[in-house]
Structure 1
C-alpha cells in the first residue's frame, strides 16, 4: 500500500488540477522565479548519465511551483507515508533479522538472552547474539561456540585456544597424541613464528595461576579468548609513494607500514580461527610460502603495472630494509632484485628490477582501530543531501580548482574520485547563502598534495564542508580577508573523515617536503569550525572563533609541542569544545569545554607556559570525565583524572603507539589504568575511540561466558591486537 503525492493528485478531477497549477505559477514571486530559473539552467546542463540529479532538480522545480491544493495533499501524503512505514515496521519487528534495534533486547528476553548492556549509539549490535542464541545452546560446552559467541557479542574477530591441548605432559598409553611432544622442533618454522601468540602450537609446562586474571594460561581448565581490536582496512588501486624509478612504498605518504591480511570467513561453525581468519600483519615467510593465499586480485595485496597485475611467479618476498653506510646514512635498500619484483610486507615496500614503463598501482590492507581519517569505508550517510549540482573530478572537470570555480555562483558538490594523488592548492570561494562540499567519492581516499595554504573564503551565511580527503604538504587556511581585499564572511567550516597530516610531510612529485606546521589556521572571528572523525595536526586560531572537535585525534607530534593556541602559538586561541577526542600536545584556549577526552601534554623544563593545558576564562565552560595533566588551569573539573594528587604518577594514558601511520596509533594500551580505559561518563574509554565502547563489549562477553563454558573450565580474555 503506497499513498505518494502524485497518486493522490491524479485522483483529483482534471479541472481542479489545472486550476491549481495556474494558481501556483501566478503566486511565484520574483526571488522564487529567479531560483527556478537557476534550477532550469542546471537541469539543461546535465548530461544523460546524471538522471538522478535531473530528477531531483525537476522535483525541486515542481515544489517551488506547487499550488495550494497540491501543497495540502503533500502534507496528507507525508502523514500517510509515516503511517504506512509504521505498519510495515510493526510487522518487521516480529523477527530478529528485520526488527528495529530497540526491539532486540525484548526478543532476547523472550528466549532468555539476558545480561547484555544496551548502548543506543554503539557501532555494534546485540542482534547476532539474540539471533544465534538457540544455536549456541545446541553446541554449548565446545570451543567453537565460545569463539562464535565472542565474535557475535563484540563484533571483533576472535580466536579461542584450548590450553590443555598444549600441555607438555606424560601421555596415557591408551590415548597417545603423537603431535603433542614435549620439545620444540627447531626445524618447524611456522611453529616458531607463532610462539607466544594465539596460534602457538609448541607444548608448555603447566601454569597454575588463574587465567581469568590474565596471569597464567597453560593449564587443564583454561580457555583463552583472543579479541582482535585492530581491523584490516582496504585501499584499492592506490598510487604508491615513489622514491625513485625502482623503489616504491605502499603508503601514499612514504611511511613504513605493515601490510595486513584480508580475513577469510570460516567455512564451518565447528572451525576454530587460524591466522588466515583474523586481521594480522603479514609475515615475510608466511607470504613467501603461501603466496596464492594472500596475493592476487581481491586478496590481501597485489601490485599492478598498467592494467596487469604482476605475476606472483615473478615476485620475491624479502627484507627491503634500509642499507646504511659507516656513518649511519641510508644509501639504499637491502636485497634489491636483479630480475624479479621484490615485496616486503613488514615494511610495506616494493622494488622492481627495471623501471616500470607504465603507472604502478597497489591494492593492500592496512591496520587501524576505527573508521577515522578517511578511507574506503562507507561515508555516504555523512554526505550533504540535496546539494546540487555535483561535479566529479576528473570525470566532469579535470581539476579540483576548475570544479570549484564552476560552483562560484550556485554552490554545490565537488566529488574527487579514485585513490590517486591530486597536485593542487585550490582557492575556495563560497557564494553568499550557499554551501560547497569538497569530498572524496564514497569508498575512495584521494590524496590532495598541496604546496601551501588552501584558502577558504565566503559570503554572508556561507558554509564549506571537507569530507574524506587526506591532505599532505599544505594546510587549511581561513583568512580574515580574501584575495580581493574583501572581508571574509564565511559562516561555517566542517571537516569530516579527513586527515590533515600531523608532523612533517615528504616530497611528493613536484611538491617539496614540508616541516611540521599547523594544519588548520583560523584567522576569522565568529567562524564555527566542526571537526569530526578526523586526524589533524596543530591548530592555530583567533579569539572569537568557535572550534568543536568530536571523535578525532589532534596531534602536535609530541606532548611538549603546542597543539592548540592563538596564531602566535603563545596565547589563548578560539573557544574549544572537545568530545571523545585525544589531544597530543599543549593547549591554550579562551574557553574550555571538554568531555570524555584525553589531553596528553607536558611542559618543557624551562617552559614559559604556566600549565600544559589552560583556559583563559575559568568561569565559563566545563571539564568532565577527561584526563588532564596535573597542574592544568581549567574550569572546575568533574570526575576528571587524575582524581587526587597521589594518582598523578599511576593514572596516566598509555598508548600502543603515538606514531601516525602505525596500526595501534593512539589506541589505549591493554595495561592502561582503568580510570582512563573506563573513565568516560558512560564507563567507556576516554579519547578518540570512545564510540567503540570497548569495555562494554568485553563486559557483555564476560556476562555470557558462564552459560556456555563446560563445568570447571575458566576463560581468560586477551587482546590479540
Structure 2
C-alpha cells in the first residue's frame, strides 16, 4: 500500500483543496500508509507462520508442540534469543525438517532407513544404518533345514573363512561398509551402557560430519613437467578426494558409498569408475583451457598408487590416485594448454575461500562493476583496475568481480586515494586463486594496498575502504600501508605459511599473511583463514589499530609462533576484538575489547589488563589477560585434564581445527550457549549430537541398542 493509493481513496474535492493548501493531508496519509504497510506485512507473515515450510524460526517449536515434538532439556533458553547466533542455536535444537517429518517418522518407527533420515533431519548429517545381527558369524547346522535354523541356512557366508581374493571387501573391513562376518562382542558384565557393537540387538548409525567442498574446473598444478605429474590441489599438497553424494533412490534404501561423503578408495575407483568419474560426478579431468577443454575419457582412467610417482601408466592412460589427489599422464602430448580438474575435498565448515554460497550485501546499482575471467571483458585484475582509474578518478567506488576458478598472478599494487571504495570479490560459485609468486620461486612477494592520502590527521570516514571477498591468496602475504581507513576480509583464505609442500607443511611458516605498516587501518575478518598478523607503527603518535575477528581461524602454523604481534616479537599496537575464533599461536597485543567463545592455543599476553574482558574461552592457564569469566581451565590444578586437543592443525587436511572427540566436555561445551568455542561454533555439534541420540532412543524399538559412530 503506497501513499498514492491511500490518497486516491479520498473524494476529489478534498484532494483538490489539499493541493491548494500545500498537500498537508497527503503528508499525513503518507505516515498512515507506512504504518498500514507494517500491519499488512505482519498479516502476511502470520499466514506464512501457519506452515512449517514458510514460518519464521521462532515459530518452529510451537508448531512442533502441536504435533507432539519433544524438545531437549535446555532448549527453552534458546527461544529467548533474538540475535543471529541465537536463531542458529534454535535451528540446531529444534530442526525444521524434523518437526515437518515428525508424524511420518512415527509411522516408520522400527525401520532401518528411518535412522538415516533422523540424522539428516536432526543434524543434516549423511549416515548409514547397519544391523549388527546380520554381520555375526554363524555356525552352519548340518541337520536338515527347519524353522529353527532358517536364519543360518539363509546366510551360508556367515561362517566361512575370509576370501582373500575379494580385495574390495577386505578394503572395507571394520568400516561402515564392512561385509565380513564378526564374532559376537561380549563386554564386561558391569558395562551397563553398552552391550557390544557386534551383537544381536545392536544397531549402528555411522555418521559423516565433514562437508564435501567442490572445486570445479580448476587448474591442476604441474609438479614434474618431464614426467607429466600433477596434483588436484593448486597448492601442490596431497588432498584426499571425497565422494559427491547422490540422492538415495527410495525412502527404504540404506545408504552405500555413493550416498555419503566418504573418501574415495583406490579399489572403489577401479571397481565403480563410472559412479565416481565424470563432469557432474565426484571427479573429472580435462586437458586444455577452461572454455574448450576436452574431457579425459573414462576408458583411459586407471586407479593407481602414486605415493612416490613410480607408477608409469601405459600409452594413452591417465593414472589417478584418489587417496593423495595426484594425476600422472603417459606423456606430454596434448598437455600444452594445461590440465583442469573437478574434485571434492572435505572440510569442517563453510569458511575460507570456496564455492559455497556466501551472503551478499545489496550493492548500489550505480557502482561501477568490472568482471574478470574467461570470456569476460577483462582478462586479469590489473586491466580492470586500470580501466576503473581511467574512467573514474578519485574518489571512486568499484566492484571487481572474478569469475571462474583460474589462478591470477596479479595485481601486486593497489593504490587508493581518499574516499575510494574498492571491492575485490569472487563470483558466486567460484574460488579464484591469487598466486603472488610461483610455488618454486623463493623470492618474497606480497599484495600491497597503499593509501596515497597526504593528510596528517584525516577523518576516518574520508579514508579509503577495501573489501576482499571469497578469494584464496597464496605465495605471499597482504601488506597495508599509508592512509587506509578499513580493510574487510570475508570468506577468504590467506594460506598460512604462504604455500604448502606435498606433505601439507608450510613452506614459509614464520612469514606474515597480513602486515599493517604505519597505517591507521581498521581490519575486519569474517569467516576467513589467515596466517600471522603483524602490526608495526609508531606507538607514541598513532592510535592502536582495531582488529575484529569473527568465525575465523588465525593460524601461525605452530603454537609457539606469533599469531598476532609486532616485529621482533613485541606486542602489537592494536585493540583486538575476537568472537568465535580459533587461534593457533601466541597473541601479543596492547589491549582487547571483547574476546569471547574463542580457542587460544598459544601464549596470550595483553599489555593493558584494566580494560576489556575475556569470557567463555580456552587459553593457557598462565596467560596475562584482563579478568576472565567462565574460561577454561577454571583451576590451575586441572590443566592436564582440561587440555585443548585438535584432531588436526594443518591447513589443507579434512580435520583442520576440528576438536578431537577425546577433548574434555568443559571445552566441547564451553561457549556461552553450550556449543563449542572457536571457528566451528556455529556448527552446534554438541546440540546436534544430543538431539540425535535422543531421537534414536525414541524411535528405536524396545530391546535394540542403537549406537552412533562418527566416521569423520
Same fold (TM over 0.5): yes
Displacement of 1:72: 8.2
Give the 3 Å change call, closer, same or farther, for CA 275–5 of structure 1 in structure 2. farther
Does residue 265 (structure 1) correspond to residue 247 (structure 2)? The answer is yes
Displacement of 1:647: 1.6
Q: Is the 8 A contact 1:555 1:584 kept in 2?
A: yes
Query: For residues 647 and 314 of structure 2, what CA distance do their matches in structure 1 show?
Result: 34
SS in 1 for 2:385: helix
Give the 3 Å change call, closer, same or farther, for CA 457–69 of structure 1 in structure 2. farther
Displacement of 1:13: 12
Q: How does 1:473-492 map to 2 (within 5 A)?
A: 473-479=475-481, 481=482, 488=483, 490-492=484-486
Q: Compute the TM-score of the two structures, normalised by the length of structure 2.
A: 0.84
Q: Counterpart of 1:335?
A: 312
Does residue 445 (structure 1) correspond to residue 431 (structure 2)? The answer is yes
Query: For residues 244 and 32 of structure 2, what CA distance do their matches in structure 1 show?
Result: 50
Task: Structure 2: give runs of 5+ residues left out of the alignment.
Answer: 79-85, 141-147, 438-444, 454-461
Displacement of 1:75: 6.3
Give the 3 Å change call, closer, same or farther, for CA 679–5 of structure 1 in structure 2. same
Query: For residues 347 and 611 of structure 2, what CA distance do their matches in structure 1 show?
Result: 36
Give the 3 Å change call, closer, same or farther, for CA 354–173 of structure 1 in structure 2. same
Displacement of 1:432: 3.1
Q: How does 1:332-371 map to 2 (within 5 A)?
A: 333-355=310-332, 356-371=335-350
Does residue 320 (structure 1) correspond to residue 306 (structure 2)? The answer is yes
Query: For residues 193 and 448 of structure 1, what CA distance do their matches in structure 2 show?
Result: 39
Does residue 88 (structure 1) correspond to residue 88 (structure 2)? The answer is no
> How big is each residue's C-alpha offset from its partner over 1:409-432, in whole Å with a ceiling of 9 and x where there is no partner?
321211111100011134223443
Query: For residues 526 and 348 of structure 1, what CA distance do their matches in structure 2 show?
Result: 43
Task: Structure 1: give runs of 5+ residues left out of the alignment.
Answer: 21-66, 324-332, 482-487, 602-611
Q: Compute the TM-score of the two structures, normalised by the length of structure 1.
A: 0.83
Query: For residues 511 and 30 of structure 2, what CA distance do their matches in structure 1 show?
Result: 53
> How big is each residue's C-alpha offset from its partner over 1:118-175, in whole Å with a ceiling of 9 and x where there is no partner?
5512475611101111111111012211221121101111221211221223464233
Query: For residues 352 and 635 of structure 1, what CA distance do their matches in structure 2 show?
Result: 58
Does residue 168 (structure 1) correspond to residue 168 (structure 2)? The answer is no
Aligned residues: 643
Q: Is the 8 A contact 2:139 2:159 kept in 1?
A: no
- The structure 2 residue matched to 1:540, chosen from 501, 511, 534, is 534
Displacement of 1:274: 1.3
Q: How does 1:215-614 map to 2 (within 5 A)?
A: 216-245=196-225, 246-306=228-288, 307-322=293-308, 333-355=310-332, 356-381=335-360, 384=363, 388-394=367-373, 395-405=376-386, 406=388, 408-451=394-437, 452-458=445-451, 460-479=462-481, 481=482, 488=483, 490-505=484-499, 516-524=510-518, 526-542=520-536, 544-592=544-592, 593-601=594-602, 612-614=603-605
Displacement of 1:399: 2.5
SS in 2 for 1:644: coil
> How big is each residue's C-alpha offset from its partner over 1:207-233, in whole Å with a ceiling of 9 and x where there is no partner?
233999578311122221222111111
> How big is each residue's C-alpha offset from its partner over 1:532-554, in whole Å with a ceiling of 9 and x where there is no partner?
11010001114600111111111
- The structure 2 residue matched to 1:208, chosen from 172, 183, 186, is 186
Query: For residues 704 and 109 of structure 1, what CA distance do their matches in structure 2 show?
Result: 16
Give the 3 Å change call, closer, same or farther, for CA 215–419 of structure 1 in structure 2. farther
Q: Is the 8 A contact 1:213 1:716 kept in 2?
A: no
Q: Counterpart of 2:126?
A: 157
SS in 2 for 1:547: strand
Q: Counterpart of 1:45?
A: none
Displacement of 1:664: 0.9
Q: Counterpart of 1:115?
A: 71
Q: Which moved more, 1:703-712 or 1:395-404?
A: 395-404
Query: For residues 162 and 122 of structure 2, what CA distance do their matches in structure 1 show?
Result: 36
SS in 2 for 1:99: coil
Give the 3 Å change call, closer, same or farther, for CA 712–413 of structure 1 in structure 2. same
Q: Is the 8 A contact 1:454 1:476 kept in 2?
A: yes
Give the 3 Å change call, closer, same or farther, for CA 423–81 of structure 1 in structure 2. farther
Query: For residues 456 and 504 of structure 1, what CA distance do their matches in structure 2 show?
Result: 18
SS in 2 for 1:236: strand
Q: Is the 8 A contact 1:581 1:688 kept in 2?
A: yes
Displacement of 1:382: 5.0
Q: Counterpart of 1:643?
A: 634
Q: Which moved more, 1:291-300 or 1:429-438?
A: 429-438
Q: Counterpart of 1:628?
A: 619
Does residue 669 (structure 1) correspond to residue 663 (structure 2)? The answer is no
Displacement of 1:91: 1.2
Q: Counterpart of 2:54?
A: 98
Query: For residues 311 and 608 of structure 2, what CA distance do their matches in structure 1 show?
Result: 56
> How big is each residue's C-alpha offset from its partner over 1:665-713, in whole Å with a ceiling of 9 and x where there is no partner?
1111111211111111111112110110000001111222222110121
Q: Which moved more, 1:197-206 or 1:367-376?
A: 197-206
Give the 3 Å change call, closer, same or farther, for CA 404–546 of structure 1 in structure 2. same
Displacement of 1:96: 1.1
Query: For residues 428 and 13 of structure 1, what CA distance do their matches in structure 2 show?
Result: 61
SS in 1 for 2:637: helix
Query: For residues 280 and 153 of structure 1, what CA distance do their matches in structure 2 show?
Result: 20
Displacement of 1:353: 1.5
Give the 3 Å change call, closer, same or farther, for CA 380–634 of structure 1 in structure 2. closer
Displacement of 1:284: 0.8
Does residue 691 (structure 1) correspond to residue 691 (structure 2)? The answer is no
SS in 1 for 2:434: strand
Give the 3 Å change call, closer, same or farther, for CA 384–537 of structure 1 in structure 2. farther
SS in 2 for 1:390: strand
Q: Counterpart of 2:143?
A: none
Q: Counterpart of 2:441?
A: none
Q: Is the 8 A contact 1:393 1:416 kept in 2?
A: yes
